């Protein structure tokens, strides 16, 4: 079924109100705001009569509430001390900590999760840990609207590049 909100966004020229449309729209709006850090957003819709008997207007009302803000961030490395010291001393690590989008005071926007994880994964990959991974766990205090984030970097083995093979280059010379 087509959402009534598609009319608002301009992707549908005309639509008819069908059973379930409004509840679908309310859920979609709630998810939209939750993903952007507004976990307590309240969304409602009113059906308003118009001068035309076959037409109604819809009034969506959104009370965003207070967003969830990041109170603290912890970055842990699950590795031997020598690996932890080596990685933490790299400019890549310091840059990731300072520039990844989840910073204390910022809104806990779900769309920034991937970018934050990729910043720390890049630290591992660019420093010899091709099979490293990063986990992010969050704890949300809904009374205070605060989140505590815990990044866990798991470097995995230190690897070196061995033989490099190139295949599928039928039309372009192998000379670089």
pLDDT of residue 4: 55
Other beta carbons less than 10 A from residue 132's beta carbon:
23
- Residue closest to 155 by CA, chosen among 130, 172, 176, 175: 130
Dmax over Cα atoms in the chain, in whole Å? Answer: 75
Residues sharing a CB contact under 8 Å with residue 155, sequence separation 6 or more, in sequence order: 77, 78, 79, 83, 87, 124, 129, 132
| The two three-digit tokens of residue 151, written as one number | 């990044």
Predicted confidence (pLDDT) per residue in 144-171, tens digit: 999 999 999 999 999 998 998 888 877 8
For 89, the 3-state DSSP assignment is: coil
pTM of the model as a whole: 0.76
The pLDDT tens digits of the residues spanning 105-132 come to 999 999 999 999 999 999 999 999 999 9
């Amino acid at each position: 079924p087509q959402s009534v909100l598609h009319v608002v966004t301009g992707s549908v020229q005309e639509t008819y109100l069908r059973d379930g449309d409004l509840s679908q729209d309310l859920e979609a709006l709630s998810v939209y705001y939750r993903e952007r850090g507004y976990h307590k957003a309240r969304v409602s819709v009113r059906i308003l009569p118009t001068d035309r008997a076959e037409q109604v207007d819809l009034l969506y009302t959104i009370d965003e509430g207070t967003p969830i803000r990041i109170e603290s961030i912890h970055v842990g490395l699950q590795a031997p001390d020598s690996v932890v010291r080596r990685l933490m001393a790299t400019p890549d690590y310091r840059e990731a900590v300072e520039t990844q989008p989840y910073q204390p005071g910022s809104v806990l926007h779900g769309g920034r999760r991937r970018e934050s994880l990729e910043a720390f994964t890049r630290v591992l990959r660019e420093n010899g840990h091709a099979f490293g991974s990063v986990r992010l766990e969050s704890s949300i205090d809904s009374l205070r609207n605060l989140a505590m984030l815990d990044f866990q970097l798991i470097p995995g083995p230190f690897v070196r590049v061995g033989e490099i093979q190139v295949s599928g280059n039928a039309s372009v010379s192998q000379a670089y």
